[in-house]
Structures are given as structure tokens and as C-alpha cells.
Chain A
């Protein structure tokens, strides 16, 4: 083998190790009991409490916080499955909602002549300058005013408009040849039929790419769900991790094992999505098939 190839692979392997090691440590540590971790720190070798930790985590049996000095944890546990469900709803709702809204918005901007069309586009575009964190208080105010606090609607709806996705779809539509639309017009395809029969299938790769991005963004939302929900029923995985860290200040032993398991669990769905859609993702962002 050539030396160059060996060096290339060495670099790649190093990179993989660099990324995988923390994840492995989290997983390995999750197979111990909380006390063992508190005593001995993180582990590289698998322990024997895998079923204990993960079982408790997913069912919500047992407190998130271990008993210490005879006191049970004050915070009742939310089952890992519920948090997983909440995170999935947030991620999927976020991604699907954003795609639907931004596809339609881009469709309107690109294909329909209406007064001040470009103006509206630039308004949408410049909203990129106002990320959620900047407008979070007024957004909360509105959601609260609508009585949507502690609801999935309140979690998803206010974030559903996406300048980024609208912009991507706009660029994509713009490079679809004008003649395609004209051919469709001659083929008696009205605006709705054109969108469903032609534009939507053509956008598939683009949709996949944006779906991945938006799912991960939605999945990783943290500040927003904390603010928008007070009911534990709406806890997401990321909030669950935070809850465990909180308890440290109270001088109890946090359930480190469950925290690690939770961290691993929260990584799996985005990874799955990226792996499954990976080929589409690359196509969507690079290929321009006409």
C-alpha cells in the first residue's frame, strides 16, 4: 500500500476516534449505577447495570435522582419514552411544518406576480437577522396570549416560518427551467396541479435535505421548550438532561448513569435520520437535475 493511503487512513481513523470516544464513554458509563460513577468517574469498559439504567430511564420507573440519606428524589421522574416522544414531535413537527410553509411561500414568491412580491421576499429574508433568541420574549407573550403554553401547538407553530428554508426553495425553483412551467400550462396543469404533479416530485431531494437540517434544529431546541412549557408532560430529552444537572446544586447524587443514557438516546434519532437520508441530502444540496 502506498504511504499516502496509510497516512490518509490514519488521519481518518483519528478523526473517527475523536468523535466516537466521548459517545462511547457516555454509553459505557451508562451501564453502571449512579453511585459507581460518582465514586470512580467515567468508564471505558461496559458495566453490568445496562438493563437497570436503561429500563428505569425508558419506563420512568425509579426517580431520576437516586435516593441519598434516606430521602427520595423530590423531582418525580419523567419516562424516557415520553421525552423521546416529545422530542420526536418537536423535531418532526418543526421539520414538516417548516417545509410545508416555506415551500408554499417560495412557490408564491417565484411563480406568482403579485404586488410587492420581491418586497415580501426580502422581508422574509431579513428575518434571518432576528433569530429566536432575540425575539423570544415577544414570541412568548404571543403564545401565552393565545393560551398555547403547555401545548404542542404552542411549541411548534411559532417557529414554523423559516427564512432559510424559504430561501433554499426559492433558489431551487428559480433554476427549474421556465419552459417546464410553460409546458405544464399547455398541458392544462393549473397552479395546484403543477405544484403537486411537477414541483413537489422535483423538489424531493431538496425536501430531504431541508428535512434533515430542520429536524436536527428542532430536535436540539432547548431554550424555547423550557420557556414554553412548565408541565413535565412536555419535557424533551434535552430538557431531561438539564434537569439532572440542576440537582447537583442540592447536594444529592444525580443519576449520572441515566443522564449518560439520556445523552446517548438523544443522539440516536438525528444520527438515524442523517444516515437514512444521507444520499438524498448530498443530492439535494449539490445536484441540479433538470
Chain B
């Protein structure tokens, strides 16, 4: 039973731009769903339609068995965390948290209880009397979270809430948001363009591209079983290696006249071969005729591991290896299991 459902949502702007084209997503109660995609993919538009800040051209949005398409934002029982926090600069943190409740006519004691509880949860109790200007970015982010929490809504909406924080804080807040959402058990939609955030935070990821759902699934599904070239290329850092492959009587031919035995092949003669960098092993002594010659150009030392940037024939390929041992030099080969090979249609990008 889905708690928040988007059914056949279409958004067309008056100027004719189709921001969202027939998107359907079902979100279970308490699920943390991440909408991810490049800028302009319609993820924010989708979120804002759920919030009621954009009108829905076509389709139905249902939250807790209630169609909310035409409800005022304030009456949808959702709370949103904005990218720039959107705190009221002239109000203290306490008033910022309380404002939404005051406007809904909650009794004073109840407001106070909720505000203090949320502040406790977010460890901002000592800042309740300060104004937003006197807070650091991370603290403001917490206040913005607090404003959503005190509402005790049916659903949280996050619009790229971490993009204004520095990298270290972002990793920390990422975890914290996830933990809070788990603790509260509130259904959440989280919009981001950062695939790391998507992978680490989501119960389920919805990958959007050009206003359409490319794939929806758990982070593991999305990563290991990408439904299209787009998903494969977008998710994962470093990105999946893509090689244009041709198949001829049991052989795979790659640009630059590389010819090896094909471990697996698609149902057609030409396809794009996708290989995750960490599924490739580099060796000096290839065991069989399926290893590709790998010419190393550059080594990126990451501490915990190494990225080897090089070429297979004419195609640039990145390999992720463990960091120990000596940096390999020349005469290298790239090996991978058949299970690591993903094939995509060259034209449509669809998984084969």
C-alpha cells in the first residue's frame, strides 16, 4: 500500500516546456526515496508539485489516501526543507521553528513542547534564542530540519538541502538526516543531483532524465543492474567505462583493433559494453584470451585505493584498485568476469 503516490504526472509550462512527462512513483510509508538526475531533469519540479508550489498539469498526487493535487501547500500535511534553508532572518530560532505551528493555531504549551523536542533532537537547544545570521551553515541546516520536524507531517520533502554545505559537513549531515528520518519513520522524498547522496541515503532511488523515470529501485539494483546507459553512466563514481563493441564469431572487437574472446555477448552484433571500474582487475599475466591490453596513463592515489586511468585500444578506461602494492607500470591487462559486463543498445541506450 503506497503512502505517497504520484500517478502519471505531467508538467507542461505555459511556454510549452515539458518539465515532467508522465512520471509515476509509489512510495511506501516511512520510505526514504531519492529523486536523482542531472539539472533540468524535472526532479525539483516534481518535488515542488508534491509540495503544492507548482500546479500539476495532469495526473494525481495522493498522500495518505487523500488526493492533494489542488490543496494549498499549507494544508497538504507535508514539510519541506529548502536548499537555502529559507529561514526567517528576523526571527529567533525558536520563532522560526514555532511559526508554522503558531499559524495553525496550536496551543502554546504544545508548540513549546514540540519545539524543544525537535531542538533537543537536533542539538540546537542552546541556539534557540539566536537569529539565523549568528549560526553556521550546518546549524542553519539543522534549524531548517527542525522546522520540518515540529510539524510532525505525513511526509518530508528535501530540496537539495546539503548543497550549500562544505564537503565534510555534508557527509556528516547526510548521515544525520538519514538517522533522523529512520527514527521518526516519516515518509520522505529527497531531491539531489549528487549520486553519492542518492546511493547512501535512499531506501529507493528514482533516476530521472529529461522529465522521465529512467529507473526506480534500491541503490543496489540501480548500481548493479542499471536499466539504461544513462543510469549506468550517471550513478557511480568513477563512472562506468563504456566501450563500443562489435561481436564476430565468438570474438569481441573494440576500437583500436582489439580482438579478444567474448566472455558474453548480447543478442546483436554491435552494442555498448559497460564495465564498472572496480569490477576490472589489472594483471601482468593474463590467464586466458579474454583479457584486454591496458595502457596506463595516470595513477590517482586515493589513500584507500587507487584509480588507474588508461586506455584500452582507443577507449579511455578507468580501473579502481586497492591501494596496496606497487604502482604497476607497463604491459598490463584488464580482466573482468562475464557477470560484470553490461550491454546497452547503441541507439536507445536501453539495457540488453
Contact = CB atoms under 8 A, between A and B. Distances in A.
Interface of A: 177, 179-180, 182-189, 193, 197-198, 201-202, 204, 289-290
Interface of B: 51-53, 72-75, 78-80, 82-84, 86-90, 99-100, 103-104, 133, 147
A106 B72 CA distance: 24
Interface of A is mostly: helix
B79 A186 contact: yes
Q: List the 3 closest pairs (A to B, CB-CB), nearest first.
A: A187-B100, A188-B74, A179-B86
B83 A186 contact: no
Given A182-B86, A198-B90, 16 more contacts: A177-B84, A179-B83, A180-B88, A182-B73, A182-B80, A183-B80, A183-B86, A183-B147, A184-B88, A187-B74, A188-B75, A189-B74, A193-B103, A201-B90, A289-B89, A289-B133
Contacts of B103: 187-189, 193
B77 to A, nearest CB: 11
Given A180-B86, A289-B89, A186 B73 contact: yes
B78 to A, nearest CB: 7
A40 to B, nearest CB: 58
Contacts of B79: 186
6 contacts: A179-B83, A182-B51, A182-B73, A183-B82, A185-B53, A189-B103
Contact of B80 (A180, A186, A189): A186
A197 B103 CA distance: 11
A290 B164 CA distance: 15
Contacts, number: 57
A185 B133 contact: no
A198 B73 CA distance: 18
Nearest to B53: A182
B219 to A, nearest CB: 29
Interface of B is mostly: loop
A183 to B, nearest CB: 4
A183 B53 CA distance: 10
B74 A179 contact: no
Nearest to A198: B88
B89 A202 contact: yes
Contacts of A179: 82-84, 86
B293 to A, nearest CB: 53
B78 A186 contact: yes
Contacts of B90: 198, 201-202, 204
A68 to B, nearest CB: 61
A189 B99 contact: yes
A185 B99 contact: no
A180 B89 CA distance: 10
* From A177, A185, A188, A290, residue with most partner B Cβ within 10 Å: A188
Contacts of B100: 186-188
Contacts of B74: 185-189
A239 B103 CA distance: 51
A197 B98 CA distance: 13
A247 to B, nearest CB: 54
B93 to A, nearest CB: 14
A198 B72 CA distance: 19
B61 to A, nearest CB: 15
A180 B80 CA distance: 12
A105 B328 CA distance: 71
A201 B99 CA distance: 14
Contacts of A188: 74-75, 100, 103-104
B111 to A, nearest CB: 13
Nearest to B82: A179
Contacts of A184: 88
A28 B270 CA distance: 101
Nearest to B157: A186
Nearest to A193: B103
A177 B78 CA distance: 21
B313 to A, nearest CB: 49
Contacts of B82: 179, 182-183
A186 B80 CA distance: 8
Contacts of A201: 90
Given A177-B86, A179-B84, A187 B99 contact: yes
A197 B52 CA distance: 22
B129 to A, nearest CB: 17
Nearest to B153: A186
Contacts of B73: 182, 185-186
B329 to A, nearest CB: 53
A187 to B, nearest CB: 4
A11 B98 CA distance: 54
A184 B52 CA distance: 13
